[in-house]
A and B are shown apart, each in its own frame.
Chain A
Amino acid sequence: MTATGSPHLMDARTACARRRRSVFIEVAPWRVMATGPDPIAGSVPGAILTSVKSDFAGRPTASGGHLPLPEPAAVHATLLAHGVGPGDDLVLYTRRIEELSSAARAWFVLTWAGFRSVRVLDGGLPAWTRAGGWTDRAAQTRPPAPTQDSHAAPSFEIGGGGSSGIGIGGRRVLGITDVQEVADYGTLLDSRPMSAYDGALDDPRTGHVPHAVHAPSTELVAPDGLLRSPTEMRKWFLSRRAIGSHEVGAYCGGGVSSALLVFAGALLGQQVGLFVDSWSAWARDDSLPVEQGAAPTRSTVVDTDCA
């Protein structure tokens, strides 16, 4: 991985060398991502154990997605309970390579909430052990989730209010209107598997946001569990019209696998907005259009005619 030195990504060798200066955070996925027993016993010594659902998502609402953003104050309170503040060097990792997008979701939430130094460990725990990092079998228990109105946490203004906008860390959160605009004028990436993107003919609320481009983030991970090289990722994004000064957005089922697209975009210097509510909210609203089929369609509102 030649993105070494990126403010967002850390290779395992560097992580091992900086172990004492960094706070490691192990992120568990919101659902089982891989079958079979856990291949590695223990965790990075001293790691804080977290999960997407408990620590990097809020409570679902009737109209939103199933993994909405948490209150930023709750995020700060969770880490403050471990003595960790926004200025600490955080290194996020997952136990399995299939779970990388969970670390990306945690990265998104933490940078959105104002944590300044947040990196994802490339290749996760398997890369850590391959690099000679040792693990601690005495797993630390995760502290109880803080209450939303915790007095210990400061308040934060994110993106000027509402459900969309740009957070402190430069993360862009897309609302429904933003998504429609990005799909029409920019490039909207759909990170779900092809079967979900394609939809089922007997269910009109399956398929994708009209003009979204299929972009499964699993393709960004090489077989060895490391992110693909910057050149490979750039070509991957370019081939999906997702590099440029136009608006680029991403969604999936609940804003986890698409967070990996946002993360990869950040590595490439491309701002990608995240529709956190994602398909779990879009499909539920009958007033929103749905398109089916494997082939992406062009928006008719974009004027590329010469005259």
Chain B
Amino acid sequence: MTVVSNLHGRTTDVRGRYAITGPGFEITSDGSVRSGGPGEEAGSLDLLVASLVSCALNAFRHDFVEGGQPERRVEIFARIERRTEGDYLGTLVMECFIDGVDHVTAAELVAEYKKRCRIYNALKDSLPVVFVPHTSGSGPEGTA
């Protein structure tokens, strides 16, 4: 059996602005000012990063939460770092603030995400991802 995920994209009346629709939602995306777009809405790179952030939020929210326990509050700040002269996409750094877990659990959550997220696994060779988990009352601990 095959499963399918669909999106529809089209240009709009605004130069460099695109409407991307799926079943029940619409995302507006802009080309950068440099390429003649408005550069206001999410760009293509933003959307790529957003997919990884969305998946990580979903995983960290409930992975390893036992039945009856409240789900976690999670906040992720993601950035892509790239040298201006670099002919590559860059390195994605995800600083993850996960309430109610210690460093051990945070590391387990990241490991589980890396194991399970298909998007991460599809991209990781060309877009290295560095997770920086922050747990309640502690400093950052970077993991590659």
Give A residues with C-beta under 8 Å from B.
Answer: 2, 185, 230-231, 234-235, 238-239, 241, 243-246, 298, 300-306
Contact = CB atoms under 8 A, between A and B. Distances in A.
30 contacts: A2-B139, A231-B134, A234-B140, A235-B75, A235-B97, A238-B77, A238-B95, A239-B77, A241-B79, A243-B79, A243-B95, A244-B79, A298-B33, A298-B39, A300-B32, A300-B34, A300-B39, A303-B32, A303-B34, A303-B84, A304-B32, A304-B43, A304-B45, A304-B46, A305-B34, A305-B35, A305-B43, A305-B44, A306-B45, A306-B89
Nearest to B78: A238
Contacts of B139: 2, 230
Interface of B: 31-35, 39, 43-46, 75, 77, 79-81, 84, 89, 93, 95, 97, 134, 137, 139-140
B51 to A, nearest CB: 14
Nearest to B40: A298
A-B pairs, 3 with minimum CB distance: A238-B77, A300-B33, A306-B44
A304 to B, nearest CB: 5
Q: For chain B, what secondary structure do more than half of its interface residues adopt (helix, strand, loop), or is it mixed?
A: mixed
A151 to B, nearest CB: 46
Contacts of B97: 231, 235
A121 to B, nearest CB: 21
Nearest to A231: B134
Most buried by A among B75, B89, B97, B139: B139
Nearest to B48: A306
A33 B32 CA distance: 43
Contacts of A238: 77, 95
B81 A245 contact: yes
Contacts of B95: 234, 238, 243
B105 to A, nearest CB: 17
Given A234-B134, A304-B43, A304-B45, 13 more contacts: A185-B84, A231-B137, A235-B75, A235-B77, A238-B77, A243-B77, A243-B79, A246-B81, A300-B34, A301-B34, A303-B84, A304-B32, A305-B45
A300 B140 CA distance: 32
Contacts of A235: 75, 77, 97
Contacts of B32: 300, 303-305
A302 B39 CA distance: 11
A119 B26 CA distance: 52
Nearest to B135: A231
